[in-house]
């Protein structure tokens, strides 16, 4: 909300948003699908986090490399919820995680592949649309 009101008080940004909306020629749809989505992403980064069971697997099996700063040639971090929602080659990273796990591409050799329970934890979460943790969920 704070980001939106800052934009509204900045004449240049407001004008740019209006012009972009006019160019796209989508009326209300441009308002919903354009700038508003960017604001939603910013809020995701600030407030939402990984479910505990998913985070546990990522910490144990992925963050040796997918960490910040990146290690061992990994191309992106898998530390925060926002990391999993970012895009990599035009797809949400959680979707790339699904393929990488299903094909046993990740964790890479010679690391142990995910045991069945941990595999199910991550794949079930992705099948549900990779939601953030329930509000107030406390990790053990």
With CB under 6 A as the contact rule, the residue among 15, 18, 104, 108 that binds ligand HEC is 108
Q: Does 75 bind ligand HEC (CB under 6 A)?
A: yes
Least spacing, CB of residue 94 vs ligand HEC, in Å: 9
- Using DSSP's 3-state secondary structure scheme, residue 135 falls into coil
* Closer of 97 and 130 to ligand HEC (Cβ): 97
Q: Give residues with Cβ within 8 angstroms of 120, minimum separation 6.
A: none
Single out the residue of 25, 69, 73, 135 in contact with ligand HEC (rule: CB under 6 A): 73
Distance CA 76, CA 65 (A): 9
Position of tokens 């796209």? Answer: 24
| C-alpha–C-alpha distance, residues 41 and 22, integer Å | 23
Report how far Cα 74 is from the mean position of its chain's Cα atoms.
16
Strand 91-92 and strand 87-88: pairing? antiparallel
Residues 52-71 close enough to bind ligand HEC by CB under 6 A? 61-62, 64-66
87 binds ligand HEC (CB under 6 A): no
Which residues are at the interface with ligand HEC (CB under 6 A)?
Answer: 61-62, 64-66, 72-75, 78, 96-97, 100-101, 106-108, 111, 114
């Amino acid at each position: 909300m704070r980001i939106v009101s800052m934009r509204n008080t900045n004449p240049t940004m407001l004008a740019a948003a209006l012009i972009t909306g006019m160019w796209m020629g989508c009326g209300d749809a441009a308002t919903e699908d354009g700038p508003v989505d960017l604001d939603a992403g910013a809020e995701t980064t600030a407030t939402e986090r990984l479910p505990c069971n998913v985070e546990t697997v990522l910490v144990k099996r992925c963050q040796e490399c997918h960490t910040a700063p990146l290690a061992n040639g990994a191309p992106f971090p898998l530390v925060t919820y926002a990391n999993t929602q970012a895009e990599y080659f035009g797809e949400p990273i959680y979707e790339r995680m699904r393929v990488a796990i299903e094909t046993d591409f990740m964790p890479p050799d010679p690391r142990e592949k995910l045991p069945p329970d941990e595999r199910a934890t991550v794949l079930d979460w992705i099948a549900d649309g990779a939601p953030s943790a329930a509000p107030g969920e406390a990790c053990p």
